[in-house]
Structure 1
Amino acid sequence: MTDVVTVDEHGRYRLRLERHLDHARSEVWRALTSVRCPPRLAQVAPRADPPRLLEYRTGYTAVRWEITDDGRAGSVLVFTQVCGSRQDGVDEMGWWLTALEVLGEWLAGDTHTDFPRRARCMIERCRCAFG
């Protein structure tokens, strides 16, 4: 697990979250594309290169999922998003940290994850730590 937040030359916050998953790239792809998209991303134009790349763009940000084989039976998932402000970055980090945790649970067969409550809790933890 590798999580990095950087600030670019325009003051935007870039989240980069990396996870090793004990599942093949095709399984991760299937999980990413079968989980209902959050409402705030519903109005975007996706770009995809199955089973390697899934990207959603809006006028101000891009959410990108890259999946590579790990050389064994699993895969490496790299998630990135650029946020316009520090507060947006902190809130988004909480949301996506939860999403990656839940993705692992989905892959393990657990579809009862209580995502909304867990995301709110993680966002609050991120606000306390970085806000």
Structure 2
Amino acid sequence: MLATMTVTEDGRYSLRFERRFRHPQAKVWRAITETERLREWFVQILDYDRLEFDLAPGAELTFVPKAEHAAMGTGHGTVTRFDPPDLLEYTWDSETLRWELTPEGDSCRMVFTTIFGERESGPALGSGWHIGLDLLAASLDGRDADRHAWESLPADYERVLG
């Protein structure tokens, strides 16, 4: 299911994704908060050996790219909300990332929201985070992701959000 985009009260844009995982909330929480788990699915251009991702309210975060992506520059953020294992929110430069987890029996529902400034960024962010969440599901399931399913995502998000 594709993300939905809305305009925030302050005139920025919000993409909302909802996913259900057949895994307990605690396992999904570890996947979004532990560096070793992030390596398996999160932004693939990051150097996880140099990432500063110590989570606590107000903590400063540093997102260091791998050497071959150094031109993108190091990103910085701050933890704005931290309520384990239900809510994690932090900034990454001008973007806000919010992860809300709700247990549903032995499963977990995730609502992931990203807030950003330029509407034109919506299709690229939509397809990128969609792929990331598919990688998260595959990682949790212990399987390879279906990369062929991603071929149409940029065009789908451009059609829906562009």
What 5-or-longer segments of structure 1 have no aligned partner?
none
Give the C-alpha shift of residue 3 in structure 1.
Answer: 3.4
The whole-number CA distance in structure 1 between the counterparts of 2:111 and 2:12 is 19
Contact 2:28 2:140 in 1 (8 A): yes
Of all paired residues, the percent bearing the same amino acid is 34
Contact 1:11/1:85 (CA < 8 Å) preserved in 2? no
Larger radius of gyration: 2
Q: Which residue of 1 aligns with 2:68?
A: none
Find 1:63's aligned residue among 97, 100, 107.
97
Greater helix content: 1
- Judge conservation of contact 1:12–1:85 (CA < 8 Å) in 2: yes
Report Cα offsets for 1:14-48 as digits up to 9, x if no partner. Answer: 11111111111001111222213533x71322353
Normalized against structure 2, the TM-score is what?
A: 0.65
CA distance in 1, matches of 2:151, 2:91: 24
1:122 aligns with 2:153: yes
Question: TM-score with structure 1 length normalisation?
Answer: 0.78
1:92 aligns with 2:92: no
- Aligned residue pairs total 127
DSSP 3-state at the match of 1:87: helix
Q: Spell out the pairing of 1:5-16 with structure 2 (5 A cutoff).
A: 5-16=5-16
5+ unaligned residues in a row in structure 2: which ranges?
47-61, 64-75
Aligned CA distance change for structure 1 residues 80 and 126 (closer, same or farther; 3 Å)? same
Structure 2 counterpart SS, 1:44: strand
Letter in 2 for 1:101: D
